[in-house]
């Protein structure tokens, strides 16, 4: 379909962009790569009066190492993020999740800041933003402010951004050594939105037996905003990974007891018990499994063609188990 009419400006600087937004009122929209916005316009779900195109502003591009965090320019494309040696070295979870966004052609155009500003809870990046405690640097004519990810996502497609405001960069804290990461996404077809996704970061200690010291878990599409699975994070702390006392017959070796996916063989609907009673005994597999059982606590997952809340809660538990296991293995160098 053809979008409704709008005006278009392409400012030459961030300052001009902020001024343009300021003068344009509430119906103005920031256009960057357009990969979320243009489909909305074409389907006539949005009627902006003017698009302020910031897609070419060098000030909003680039990825910088700021010591304690990486500063990702809001208009850096997904493709640039995925290829960035800095992101891969310092914040691998961001690269892992971004590589699953849509498809290559969309990643060439779509931008990191644009995807986050769109705030679709089914998008892959919001869950990573809350899991890693990213911060949003936001500019307007009245100055600059910084908003934490947990305060940024307000509701379905709604953020803390006020009219006239624009994200300039996103700060991603570096987590340091000993962490492993994984983004586990369940979707119906290759480039479809996540039915449910789980972003996991796990810090493993090898002092006194391998165990999880700290975990961050973010959930995609389990509510109107991205969700931080704090109950899982608390429950998984201290979980042993290769204790000799594994009572559930899982082989040990240097890995986290093999691959969770193959152990569990649990595609949804195989009658394996939709996350009813906690699986496994007190062994390591049981510890991750039991923590993962809490993944859907306090969530309000949506209903759509691909599943209802019960199915999504089941997915959250299964995918959290997979994500934690894979992240822990990667922390151990596996």
* Residues binding other proteins (CB under 8 A): 1-8, 10, 31, 34-35, 38-39, 41-43, 51, 53, 55, 79, 102-106, 108-109, 190-191
Burial annotation 87-103 (CB, 10 A radius, 16+ → b, else e) = beebbbbbbbbbbbbbe
Minimum distance from CB of 24 to other proteins (Å)? 13
- β-bridge pairing 50-53 and 63-65: unpaired
Count CB-CB contacts under 10 A for residue 264. Answer: 18
Burial annotation 137-172 (CB, 10 A radius, 16+ → b, else e) = bbbbeeeeeebebeebbeeebebebeebbbbbbbbb
238 DSSP 8-state letter: T
Closer by beta carbon to other proteins, 73 or else 284 = 73
**CA triplet 237, 238, 242: central angle to 5 degrees?**
125
Closer by beta carbon to other proteins, 157 or else 239 = 157
Closer by beta carbon to other proteins, 40 or else 148 = 40
Minimum distance from CB of 9 to other proteins (Å)? 9
Minimum distance from CB of 322 to other proteins (Å)? 20
Minimum distance from CB of 114 to other proteins (Å)? 12
Closer by beta carbon to other proteins, 106 or else 274 = 106
Minimum distance from CB of 115 to other proteins (Å)? 14
Minimum distance from CB of 6 to other proteins (Å)? 6
Closer by beta carbon to other proteins, 27 or else 65 = 27
Site of tokens 């959930």: 219
d(CA 107, CA 196): 20
Closer by beta carbon to other proteins, 54 or else 232 = 54
């Amino acid at each position: 379909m053809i979008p409704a009419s709008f005006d278009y400006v392409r400012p030459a600087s961030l300052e001009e962009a902020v001024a343009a937004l300021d003068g344009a009122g509430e119906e103005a929209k920031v256009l960057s790569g357009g990969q979320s916005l243009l489909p909305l316009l074409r389907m006539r779900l949005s009627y902006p009066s003017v698009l302020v195109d910031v897609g070419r502003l060098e000030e909003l591009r680039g990825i910088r190492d700021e010591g304690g965090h990486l500063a990702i320019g809001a208009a850096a494309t997904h493709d640039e993020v995925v290829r960035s040696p800095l992101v891969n070295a310092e914040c691998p979870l961001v690269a892992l999740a971004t590589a699953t966004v849509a498809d290559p052609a969309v990643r060439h155009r779509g931008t990191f800041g644009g995807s986050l500003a769109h705030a679709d809870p089914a998008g892959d990046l919001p869950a990573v933003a809350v899991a890693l405690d990213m911060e949003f640097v936001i500019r307007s004519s009245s100055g600059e402010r910084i908003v934490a990810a947990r305060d940024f996502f307000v509701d379905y497609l709604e953020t803390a951004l006020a009219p006239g405001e624009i994200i300039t960069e996103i700060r991603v804290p570096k987590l340091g050594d000993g962490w492993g990461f994984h983004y586990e996404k369940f979707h119906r077809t290759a480039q479809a939105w996540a039915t449910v996704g789980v972003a996991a970061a796990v810090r493993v200690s090898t002092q006194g037996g391998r165990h999880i010291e700290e975990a961050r878990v973010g959930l995609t599409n389990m509510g109107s905003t991205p969700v931080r699975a704090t109950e899982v994070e608390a429950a998984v702390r201290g979980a042993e990974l290769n204790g000799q006392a594994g009572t559930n017959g899982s082989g040990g070796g240097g890995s986290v007891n093999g691959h969770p996916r193959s152990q569990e063989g649990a595609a949804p609907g195989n009658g394996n018990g939709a996350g009813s009673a906690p699986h496994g005994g007190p062994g390591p597999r049981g510890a991750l499994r039991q923590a993962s059982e809490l993944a859907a606590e306090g969530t309000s997952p949506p209903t759509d063609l691909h599943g209802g809340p019960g199915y999504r809660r089941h997915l959250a538990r299964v995918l959290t188990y997979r994500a934690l296991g894979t992240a822990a293995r990667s922390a151990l160098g596996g």
